Structure 1
Amino acid sequence: MSFERHPACTHANAQKLRAIYADLTRIGEFAADDMVLYTASRDLRGDRGAGRVVGKQAAVAHERELIRLTGGTLVMDVHEIVANDQFGAVLGVLRAHLRGASLAMPFCGMWRFREGLITHHWENAHDPAATEAFLLGTTGGAAA
């Protein structure tokens, strides 16, 4: 069986996602002003508003905070990207090292686009509680 490179892997929105995962702070370059980002930890609290980041600048600030929490060691090791005019999906492993511990957590980022701009992003970590505990320094880390 042979496989051809599918156009969804080379779509302009896939290229945008590659740029973002290489440098999370670039999310603002490709986002609508009113974009909404749903954090990986959104379901860990009873507050329905928790875990919802609204606006391009707030999304950039959220990504900068993730980088800060890992002491600048955060790497999004991307395995697959598919995208079209409306949606994108990214699979990979989030990696970070902090306080002598390491994190390697599978993730799936889901994206919605409108007219070439990001309108929504859903962060999905395989184990959001373990990821948050690592970032907040309340555990020794998790392995993929």
Structure 2
Amino acid sequence: MLRALYADLTQIGQYTSDDVVYHLAHRDLGLDLPGKLYGKQAVIDCELALHRATGGTLTACIDAVTANDHFAAVTGTFHAEFAARPLAFPFCGVWRFRDGQIVEHWQNAYDPAALHQLLGDALVSPGQ
């Protein structure tokens, strides 16, 4: 499931429960921004905004997936074009499942401050 999801993050709604909780990578930066998203539509909107912000260029190169029926960790590197320059940022996504659906996710970027500086508006303003 996670390999399919990382192949096309815009399809996240296929895999999430209605009450999914999404912990954003900037959650510990002390910013006056929400550190979590609640509900399937908020998570879908966030992923679509990130997709739009990168002009549809966001891809994930997966290094490893470790999973059981309850939890998973995925490590890799995201690649994208943003403001006419290439980006690469290592990540580790942690996932929790219930009844075969994602119920919780923790975004973890290698440098969340740099990621937020580049893509922050897309990450926390999904309606734009």
Normalization by structure 1: what TM-score? 0.78
Q: What SS does the aligned partner of 1:111 have?
A: strand
Kindly indicate whether residue 95 of structure 2 is the aligned counterpart of residue 98 of structure 1: no
Paired AA for residue 39 in structure 1 = L
Q: Which of structure 1's runs of 4+ aligned residues deviate more than 6 A?
A: none
Structure 1 match to 2:124: none
CA distance, structure 2, for counterparts of residue 130 and residue 37 of structure 1: 20
Once the two structures are TM-superposed, the CA of residue 73 in structure 1 deviates from its matched residue by 1.1
Normalization by structure 2: what TM-score? 0.87
Once the two structures are TM-superposed, the CA of residue 69 in structure 1 deviates from its matched residue by 1.2
Once the two structures are TM-superposed, the CA of residue 59 in structure 1 deviates from its matched residue by 0.7
CA distance, structure 1, for counterparts of residue 57 and residue 45 of structure 2: 17
- 1:77-116 per-residue CA deviation (whole Å, 9 max, x = no partner) reads 1111111110011000011112232211110000000111
CA distance, structure 1, for counterparts of residue 67 and residue 84 of structure 2: 36
Structure 2 match to 1:27: 12
CA distance, structure 2, for counterparts of residue 45 and residue 68 of structure 1: 26
CA distance, structure 1, for counterparts of residue 67 and residue 7 of structure 2: 17
CA distance, structure 1, for counterparts of residue 75 and residue 118 of structure 2: 20
Instruction: Report sequence identity in percent.
Output: 50
Structure 1 match to 2:30: 45
Which has the higher relative contact order, 1 or 2, with Cα contacts under 8 A spaced 6 or more apart? 2
Q: What SS does the aligned partner of 1:126 have?
A: coil
CA distance, structure 2, for counterparts of residue 45 and residue 64 of structure 1: 25
| Coordinate RMSD, CA, aligned | 1.6
CA distance, structure 2, for counterparts of residue 133 and residue 76 of structure 1: 20
Once the two structures are TM-superposed, the CA of residue 41 in structure 1 deviates from its matched residue by 1.3
- 1:59-81 per-residue CA deviation (whole Å, 9 max, x = no partner) reads 11110011111111111111111
Once the two structures are TM-superposed, the CA of residue 136 in structure 1 deviates from its matched residue by 5.1
Structure 1 residues without counterparts, runs of 5 or longer:
1-15, 138-144
Q: State the structure with more CA Rg.
A: 1
Structure 2 match to 1:140: none
Aligned residue pairs total: 121
Structure 2 residues without counterparts, runs of 5 or longer:
122-128
